[in-house]
Each structure stands twice: as C-alpha cells, then as structure tokens.
C-alpha cells in the first residue's frame, strides 16, 4: 500500500539575546515515514518512485508518480516511466509462462 507522506520543519534557527544561534530540534512520528530529502526536486521524488517500482516489481508506484507529477515534470520522464512499467509487466508475464 502506498501512502502519502508529509514532511515538516525539523529544526528552527533562532538568535538569543547575545546573537548566538539556537537550534531547536523537533521530532515528529510522521517525519520518520518521509522517504525523501527536503531538498529533493520533483524529478528526484518521481525517480525515487520509479526505483521503488523496479525494486518491488510493483507498477503502482509508477502510476502514483505519474498521477502526482504529470503536470510538474518534463514529459520525457513520463515516457520513460511508461516504458519501465511495460518492461515490468513483460517480466511478470514471462514469469507466469515458465
């Protein structure tokens, strides 16, 4: 099952009265489920879903990625994802016939 992950600010930079930086760490249970860096681009996040699909042989990751990022990333990423999805399906069909 694929779930949507939410990320939150993990630290805050404040200055005290003496202009010393204070860093406060915040820990949130949902953050532990976040599987991408806060600095990742949409392309990075999309490719992460493609890699998960390849690793687990589950095209649902690709479907989710296409659905979420189709209006954000270049169309060439979508074309490549569709090709990878077809390869995964072909491999699954080959495994069923043997």
19 pLDDT band, cuts 50/70/90, is low
Mean pLDDT of 69-75: 95
Among 20, 16, 19, 29, residue whose Cα is nearest residue 8: 29
In a domain, 6, yes or no: no
In a domain, 45, yes or no: yes
Percent of the chain past pLDDT 90, that is, above it, reads 55
Give the structural domain span for 82: 11-97
In a domain, 1, yes or no: no
Structurally, how many domains does the chain consist of? Answer: 1
Alpha-carbon distance of 65 to 87, in angstroms, equals 17
Burial environment of residue 42 by CB neighbours within 10 A (0 to 12, 13 to 18, 19 or more)? middle
């Amino acid at each position: 099952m694929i779930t949507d992950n939410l990320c939150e600010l993990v630290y805050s930079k404040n200055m005290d009265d003496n202009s010393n930086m204070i860093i406060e760490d915040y820990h949130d249970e949902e953050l532990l489920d976040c599987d991408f860096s806060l600095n990742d681009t949409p392309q990075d996040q999309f490719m992460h879903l493609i890699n998960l699909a390849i690793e687990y042989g589950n095209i649902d990751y690709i479907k989710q990625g296409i659905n979420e990022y189709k209006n954000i990333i270049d169309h060439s990423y979508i074309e490549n994802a569709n090709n990878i999805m077809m390869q995964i399906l072909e491999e699954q069909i080959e495994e069923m016939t043997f």
